[in-house]
Amino acid sequence: MSSARSGLSRRSGGRRERGAHSAAPLVAAHERRETSARGLRSAVAAGSAAATALARPVLLHAPVSEAARDRRRGAPETARVARGFAVVRSGGSTLADARARPLGAGAWVLLMLLGAGCFVPRDREALPQNECVRCHGDSAREGDAVTRAAPPTDTFGNTAVSYPGVGAHAEHLVASATHGVVACVECHRVPETSESTGHNDGVTQLVFGPLATRDGGLSPAWDLGTRQCTNSGCHGPVSGKWTRPRPSAEACGACHALPPPSPHPQYEACEVCHAEVVNAQGFVAPALHVDGTVQRNEASCSACHGATDAGAPPRSLDGGTSVTQVGVGAHQAHLSGGAFSRPVACEACHLVPSRVATASHPNGGAAEVLAAVGYERATGACATACHGARSPAWTTADAGLGCNSCHLAPPALPHPQVAACALCHPASANGQVARGSHVNGRVDVMQPTACNGCHGSAVNDAPPRDLSGSADPTRVGVGAHQAHLVGRGLARVVSCDECHEVPATVDAGTHLDGVTQVRFVGVARSNLANATYTNGACANACHDVAHLVGGPGGGQQVTPRWTTVDGSQRQCDSCHGAPPPLPHPARTDCGACHLNALPDGGFARPELHVNGRVEFALP
């Protein structure tokens, strides 16, 4: 102690400044070297001056770089000692005259520790409940002994988070809205006694536990310069600064992106897959967050996309609902089938996983479309059998698909040029194409075998109905068919083959080529008449007796319109005069010469009228 007193007396005389600066090199040295106080402690306990024989420096507190900075600023030694940035170097005959320098801050710290009994051997039994808080922590804090022992306060009485001895201890030891308690053993080796190896040696031991190492799968590290952890299971690649802790709300998203990058689904609704931990409002079980385990529940398809069990958007993975967004597009148009098509199942275009989480699903938001579909991302169109040569753009708000969008209506030859699809293809009750069998990868044909399977009715094969299903006589397909085929007492019945070539079978020859073939035979061409059908009107021997009598017959409707069936073209003077012009006798009582004619304008035998001959007597 005499040496110590001598050292104290030498502090006067303006040499305090030099003593302070002389410790600066030691500070830098102690940052790089690990020391032990065990030899010094034994020497002091034995009352020996052998402590001066220790050749290595003793680091009593980790934040020595701050001490060096204080020294460069010329801070009072008393301030440095109070803040705890002190280093003692032994070497020389006594502590007081080491290297013949005045007693410095390190010696003062040593004296303080000696006075506190820090180097006095202690009972190595388990620590009492409040033993640790004598050096660090807060005895008034709630929790067990280890929790109370964590800074603040640090070993030098500091409570500000800017001191490394304090830092973010409280943020780790206290549960928050986003995480549970992080135990001391996750970052430090908690000693069984104050004399345990590695404790109270002036070096803060960082030994990462299973949470940070992911049970040995990671190798986290602490960077003293940046005061950050790297490659840890807690914070990911890089943590925040230890001496600048942030509140949970501000730190959210610092450890992983929201959402994490691919192959994590690019969907921000965490609660969809992590409902055990979080809901739409926030964390429901913070203790399960950052616990080394990813809690994931088995969600349904609609948990990530869609709004029904089918799982088809809208909504898309990013929450979109507009068909102009790729994630939405024409999904519903396919799932519903629209007006003309059957519903298209998801697996027709996608590989549907057996469960939500597989090796390839989710894959980060990129919807994989089967190669057979021929989907081009650049144009958003498909080249597939569903739509023919090319589909509309996937994101077209109103594609306007109709009967002729995927194929012509009717398709080009050799398809029958008949627009009434339902005649040969399965139809619904209203005569439209049956949606269930349309766009199913097959051509379902039920071709009629009888004439009236396509036109006509059970009464006869002639329209109505026509190929379009119409019964309107103003339409060419209907017209005056029934006026010719049904006897009305005025003329003979005209058979189909007098105006058309009747096929032996439905699909024979040019039948079904979409063109109504009109060609006249029999009475229409009698007496060398040149029978024609032009622009919806007939010119033939049926309606004009000129070819029969060798001159004009005086008829008023000798070229009748096919679609005029109001009776105006079937008067007695429509085909010839009544009476015909000279040399025909100018008499109106036709029955006087033509016994078939009746006084009321009818005929005794109608089949003999308009037969290509002039009948006088009844056969």
**Pair of tokens at residue 485:** 């085929």
Task: Provide the 3-class DSSP secondary structure of residue 471.
Answer: coil
Query: Residue 487: what pLDDT?
Result: 84
**313, 304, 254: which is closest to 274 by C-alpha?**
304
pLDDT for res 510: 84
Q: Which of these ranges, 169-178, 180-189, 403-412, has the smallest mean pLDDT?
A: 403-412
| 594 or 118, higher pLDDT | 594
235 within a domain of the structure (yes/no) = no
What are the DSSP E strand ranges found in 380-469?
381-382
Q: Which residue has the tokens 């697996």?
A: 347
Closest CA to 610 of 498, 524, 521: 524
Which pLDDT does position 14 carry in this prediction? 34
Identify the pLDDT of residue 28. 34
Confirm whether 106 is domain-assigned: yes
Res 50: pLDDT: 32
Question: Is 111 inside a domain boundary?
Answer: yes
The pLDDT value recorded for residue 82 is: 31
Residue scoring higher pLDDT (383 or 104): 383
**Which amino acid type is present at position 425?**
H
Is there a domain that residue 453 lies in?
A: no
On whether residue 168 sits in a domain, the answer given is no
Query: What pLDDT is stored for residue 2 in this prediction?
Result: 34
> What CA–CA distance (Å, rounded) separates 472 from 452?
17
Of all residues in the chain, the percent with pLDDT exceeding 70 is: 77
Q: DSSP per residue over 226-269, as a string? A: TTEEEEETTTEEEPPPTTS---HHHHTTSSS-SSPSTTS-S---
**Using one digit for the tens of pLDDT, what is the confidence trace for 548-582?**
888 889 999 999 999 999 999 989 899 999 999 99
The closest alpha carbon to 57, from 198, 164, 165, 202, belongs to: 202
Poorest-pLDDT segment among 31-45, 213-227, 487-501, 600-614: 31-45
In sequence order, which ranges of 417-508 are alpha helices (DSSP H)? 481-485
Is the predicted pLDDT of residue 444 greater than 90, yes or no?
no
CA gap 324, 321 in Å, rounded: 9
Domain that holds residue 31: 2-116
In the chain, the percentage of residues whose pLDDT exceeds 90 is 29
Q: Pick the more confident residue, 369 or 23.
A: 369
pLDDT score of 599 more than 80: yes
Residue 15 lies in a domain: yes
Mean pLDDT, residues 305-333:
87
pLDDT of 10 above 50: no
Mean pLDDT of 52-80: 34
* DSSP assignment string, 40-103: HHHHHHTT-SGGGG--S-EE--S-HHHHHHHHHHT--HHHHHHHT--EE---SSSSTTGGG---
Of residues 207 and 34, the one with the higher pLDDT is 207
Q: Worst-scoring range by mean pLDDT, 268-272, 431-435, 566-570? A: 431-435
Does pLDDT of 20 surpass 70?
A: no
Q: What is the pLDDT of residue 104?
A: 56
The answer, as to whether pTM is greater than 0.75, is: no
Q: Which residue is listed with tokens 């000693």?
A: 191
Pairwise pLDDT comparison (272 vs 546), residue with the higher score: 546
Q: Is the pLDDT of residue 445 over 90?
A: no
The residue among 368 and 53 whose pLDDT is bigger is 368
Question: What phi-psi label fits residue 426: left (phi over 0), alpha (psi between -120 and 50 degrees) or beta?
Answer: beta
CA dist 344 → 333, 390, 438 (Å) = 9, 17, 11
Instruction: Specify if 488 maps to a domain.
Output: no
For the chain, the average pLDDT equals: 77
The lowest-confidence range among 50-59, 328-337, 443-452, 522-531 is 50-59
What are the structure tokens assigned to 487, written together?
Answer: 């006897």
pLDDT in tens, 29-60: 333 333 333 333 343 333 333 333 333 333 33
Q: Which residues pair with 537 in a beta bridge?
A: 534, 561
Does position 524 have pLDDT exceeding 60, yes or no? yes
Residue 503: the pLDDT is 92
Is residue 76 situated within a structural domain? yes
Q: Is 445 exposed, middle or buried (0-12, 13-18, 19+ CB in 10 A)?
A: exposed
Does 63 score more than 60 pLDDT? no
Flag whether pLDDT at 595 surpasses 80: yes
Amino acid 129: pLDDT: 66
Rounded to 5 degrees, φ, ψ at 291 are: -115, 10
Confidence of residue 311 (pLDDT cuts 50, 70, 90): confident
Work out how many domains the chain is built from and give that number. 1
Confidence (pLDDT) at 448: 87
Residue holding tokens 């990058």? Answer: 261
In 3-state terms, what secondary structure has residue 464?
coil
What residues pair up with 87 in beta bridges, in sequence order?
A: 59
Sign (positive or negative) of CA dihedral 471, 472, 474, 477: negative
Confidence band of 231 (pLDDT split at 50, 70, 90) = very high
Residue 358 has pLDDT above 80, yes or no: no
